[in-house]
Amino acid sequence: MKIIFLILLASLPAFVFAQDGKYTVQGTIGAYNAPAKVYLRYRLNGKVNTDSVILKDGKFQLTGTVSTGPINGFLILNAKGSGPIYDGFNHYKGKNFTIIGVSLDQPAGRKAWLDAIRKDGLSWTQVSDLKGWDSKTVALYTVRGIPQNFLLDPNGKIIAKNLRGDDLEDKLEELFGKI
């Protein structure tokens, strides 16, 4: 079973679709130990695909939220390709760990998001329904501000929220051992 680090990044231009389509979130996931199941429905090469994101391959996942609004220090680290999220992904991706970025941005920002993903070299999955704060993710994850993130175990249960800096690094070391 793999660990999935699901980053719900509610609408910074750097976090958007990697696939062309939309996602839906099912389950009660705003509280610790609540099951979290996220499914993507997207069109690729003219074919509609439905894919379980969080539970795919039994990985942990941190979900985060970002916005096209003012960029804070946490997201600046991400945009520069350094910091705990990049380090965690690069160090632990071979140890059953992955990241999924979820954008809560609007349709007008789609091109900027895709451009930022390419420019920043973000290699983890990026998704969005481009509904901004009207996205189902906001209600289901009880998102009150951004950025937010959730660490899920291989069963899709939230085991930590809003890990930043050393707290994120410490939790990953606890789960995977020091690299």
**What is the identity of the amino acid at 18?**
A
Structure confidence at residue 12 (pLDDT): 27
pLDDT band, very low/low/confident/very high, at 117 (cuts 50, 70, 90): confident
Among 76, 88, 65, 78, smallest CA distance to 5 is for 88
pLDDT band, very low/low/confident/very high, at 1 (cuts 50, 70, 90): very low
Contact 170, 87 (CB under 8 A): no
**What stretches of 80-160 show up as alpha helix (H) in DSSP?**
84-92, 110-120, 136-140
pLDDT tens per residue across span 121-153: 777 777 777 888 888 777 777 777 777 788 877
pLDDT tens per residue across span 19-71: 333 333 333 334 444 444 444 444 444 444 444 444 344 444 444 444 333 22
For the question of whether the overall pTM of this predicted structure is more than 0.75, the answer is no
Q: What's the CATH number where 74 sits?
A: 3.40.30.10
| Distance spanning both ends of the chain, measured CA to CA | 19
Q: Which domain range does residue 15 map to?
A: 3-176
Task: Report the domain count for the chain.
Answer: 1
Region 8-28: mean pLDDT is: 33
